[in-house]
Amino acid sequence: METLRLVLVFLHFVGFSALLGGFLREMRLRTMLVGAPVVIAAVAQFVTGALLIWIRTTMDMSVSGPKMAVKAGLALAIVLVAVAGTRVRPPWAFYGVGALAALATAVAVFWN
């Protein structure tokens, strides 16, 4: 079980890197577009996050309900803004994904 939890944490970090990496790459290219990899990374964060809650509960490890609710809300908002960004490509969607991803990371790290 512990190995599976660590694999899920690993995948959660891969999704996190893809989300941030996709954003920074677009900044570097100065195209400022939300691509499919960012949408996939956002969905991956949601799925791996939900599985992490499940495995931590199964292993009798602590899970903060309010923190998880805020993270789930932010991840859902990222998915919706990213999908809107791939369809109509407004600049606010690109910067919105970046800001929400930064906020979700701050919540993950500073909320204890």
Q: Which parts of this chain interact with ligand HEM (CB under 6 A)?
A: 5, 9, 12, 16, 19, 45-46, 49-50, 52-53, 56, 68, 71-72, 74-75, 78, 101, 104-105, 108-109
Quote the CA–CA distance of 73 and 81 in Å, as a whole number: 12
Please identify, using beta-carbon distances, which residue of 16 and 94 lies nearer to ligand HEM.
Answer: 16
- Nearest one of 95, 106, 77 to 23, comparing CA atoms: 95
Please identify, using beta-carbon distances, which residue of 30 and 106 lies nearer to ligand HEM.
Answer: 106
To ligand HEM, the closest distance from the beta carbon of 29 in angstroms equals 22
Vertex 29 angle, CA 27 and 100, to 5°: 25
Phi/psi at 87 (nearest 5 deg)? -80, -60
Task: Record the tokens describing residue 44, joined without a space.
Answer: 């991956």
Please identify, using beta-carbon distances, which residue of 33 and 103 lies nearer to ligand HEM.
Answer: 103
